[in-house]
Amino acid sequence: MNSQKMISTRDLTKTFGDFVAVNNITFDVRQGEIFGFLGANGAGKTTAMRMLCGLSIPTSGEATIAGYDVYKETEKIKQNIGYMSQKFSLYEDLTVAENIRFFGGIYGLKNGEIKARSRELINALDLNDQKDLLVGSLPLGWKQKLAFSVAIFHHPKLVFLDEPTGGVDPVTRRQFWDMINQASEDGITIFVTTHYMDEAEYCDRISMMVDGYIRALDSPAQLKKQYNAESMDEVFYELARGAKRTE
Amino acid sequence: MWDIFLQSINKSYTESGEKAVNDVSLHVEEGKLFGLIGPDGAGKTTLFRILTTLILADSGTASVGGYDVVKDYKVIRKSIGYMPGRFSLYQDLTVKENLRFFATLFNTTIQDNYGLIEDIYKQIEPFNDRKAGKLSGGMKQKLALCCALIHSPKVLFLDEPTTGVDAVSRKEFWGMLKNLKSKGITIMVSTPYMDEASLCEEIALIQEGNIMSVNTPDEIIAQYPDMLYAIKSPGMNQLLQELRKSELVATANSFGEYHHITFSKQGSMELLLKSLHRSDVEMKPIRPTIEDCFIHLMTHE
């Protein structure tokens, strides 16, 4: 396995009947990189992400995730990645501690390990007073920070974050990115989608999907240069306004 | 006068009395495009539900167009349009059927008020016979707006119409709102996107049930108490750490390409540049954004 490339795809394609949801996408993500996966609604991001997480078998093309094949080694992929989205992250009717224990177990950690890491995590998030509260009663910002910590609790090589900061207040949104940066420094590769264009700036590289294709892929600075744009917002607008498809 | 009044409104959903909305007072003048700006859980939806007569406040009074939300709820319901945050049309009816259904509910026809919805409806008319459940996100949003407008309301309530919508569709949607406003409709719209605040005539910044500030976007920005600077240098994460540790710096927040900073009493641009030991630093005074103001209000309460 190539340890330099956490994600590697070649002409990855997914069709539903006549509809080409993802059309020959080719890209690599390096270990430790923060990779922003952007695109308009309906561009094919969710379908692509499902293939990368081992949840959907591609129609054609190749891809390896953490060195594992997306056709044959989907179970291996699931054990080696973390996943968090705005919509699904934690069980609201379990407590903080129960959620951590549950996900630790799901990811196959041993009891002793779960206990030790739980203590560490609860201390790091300063949740000692809240650890026996139901997650449903926590403010959204805390929930999202806890959800991210749980998604990387088993020390995956790669974590997928699907609009992790949607609806979160501006202070918490920044704290969340502090956590992302820390995880990246610890060597975890970050694959993230967002509708906030300022967050696109925090990524090492960005891909822009339009109508199933990856239309642009580079660092934010290079993309702005290439499209002669002041901000990522302008780059996005320039690329996405020609889109034929909507969600 | 189709304006909106809220006076000392309180609402709690739990027995422990934790407030979803805490002593909120607001006035939206007739014909204004008013924005409720705040994250999830701020209390935006609760305020909409009180104003659209769907729930009762625990205390305080509210009126729409001079009509009390408790006593005159029937009059209010006839005169307002409401687009809830969740798509709430009939998924198994077609575009045309949904529109006709809502027109009939309000005792009118699509033709009667066609002028009001024409610009928006034209974009979804080619899909007249498609079931609403099969529409794209952007088209659903347009259909929902048409349905909220079909009885020619005096006041329009839009709860997070652009959440989860991409930047291009968001711009388009705000264009439609501007158009409706020019037809004299009072509009109250909520959004978690701070950059949309500047598209409203007046805004309320709301956080955890409390209104932190109400004014025009320009005035809220003018009230920002400190001089704000943008700073950029290679290795932005490292720079942020250095800024946070520096005694010269009072606040430092990342804002896309730049960090935004304010100085402490002893700080200044010259002193900071000297202390950073970096050769490639760009720094300039800037006008605060609404997001800067929001962060300031959140952290200084």
Distance of CA A90 to the CA centre of its chain: 16
The three-state secondary structure class of A22 is strand
Bridge partners of residue B186, in order along the sequence:
B155
Q: Is the pLDDT of residue B149 over 70?
A: yes
CB A33 within 8 A of CB A6: yes
B297 token code pair: 């209000």
| CA pair distance A52, B271, nearest whole angstrom | 48
- If you measure CA to CA, which chain B residue comes closest to A182? B237
Of A169, A231, A243, nearest to B39 by CB-CB distance is A169
Q: What pLDDT sits at residue B138?
A: 79
Domain ranges of chain A: 5-89+161-240
- Report the pLDDT value the prediction gives residue B164, as an integer from 0 to 100: 76
CATH for the stretch B228-299: 3.30.70
Q: Count of CB contacts below 8 A, A vs B?
A: 94
pLDDT value, residue A4: 80
Please give the average per-residue pLDDT across A139-162, as a whole number: 92
Over residues A10-64, the pLDDT tens digits come to 999 999 999 999 999 999 999 999 999 999 888 899 899 999 999 999 999 999 9
Per-residue pLDDT averaged across B2-24, rounded?
92
The CATH number of domain B4-221 is 3.40.50.300: yes
- Confidence (pLDDT) at A167: 86
* Residue B190 φ then ψ, to 5°: -115, 155
Which tens digit of pLDDT belongs to each residue from A204-219? 999 999 999 999 999 9
pLDDT, average across residues A149-160: 95
Please state the pTM of the whole predicted model.
Answer: 0.92
- Tally Cβ neighbours within 10 Å of residue A36: 23
| Contact yes or no for A177 and B255 at CB 8 A | no
Total length of chain A: 247
Say what the pLDDT of residue A88 is: 66
Q: Which residues of B, range 144-203, sit inside 8 Å of A by Cβ?
A: 163-169, 171, 192-194
Q: Please check the confidence at residue A1 and state whether its pLDDT lies above 50.
A: no
B216 Cβ under 8 Å from any chain A Cβ: no
Rounded to two decimals, the ipTM of the complex is 0.89
**Helical H segments across B156-289, by residue range:** 167-181, 217-222, 236-245, 269-276
Q: Looking at beta carbons, which residues of chain B come within 8 Å of A141?
A: 39
Beta strand A158-162 pairing with A189-193: parallel
Q: Are strands A5-16 and A60-65 parallel, antiparallel or unpaired?
A: antiparallel
- Its CATH class, for the domain covering A5-89+161-240, is alpha beta
Which residue has better confidence, A146 or B139? Answer: A146
Domain with CATH 3.30.70 in chain B: 228-299
What pLDDT was estimated at residue A2? 45
Instruction: List, in sequence order, the alpha helices (H) in B8-127.
Output: 44-51, 73-79, 95-105, 114-124
B292 vs B294: CA distance, rounded Å: 5
pLDDT tens by residue, A88-114: 679 999 999 999 999 999 988 999 999
Could you report the per-residue pLDDT of B208-226, keeping only the tens digit for each? Answer: 999 999 999 999 999 999 9
The 3-class secondary structure across A109-176, one letter per residue, is CCHHHHHHHHHHHHHHCCCHHHCCCEHHHCCHHHHHHHHHHHHCCCCCCEEEEECCCCCCCHHHHHHH
> Between A3 and B101, where is the model more confident?
B101
Selecting from B41, B169, B237 the residue whose C-beta is nearest the C-beta of A41 gives B169
Q: CA of A42, closest CA in chain B: separation in Å?
A: 8
pLDDT 10s digits, B42-73 = 999 999 999 999 999 999 999 999 999 999 99
Q: Who wins on pLDDT, B170 or A87?
A: B170
Residue B301 confidence (pLDDT): 67
Residue showing tokens 């959004």: B191
**Mean pLDDT over residues B248-273, rounded?**
96
| Cβ-defined contact of A198 to B255 (cutoff 8 Å) | yes
Give mean pLDDT, residues A184-202.
Answer: 94
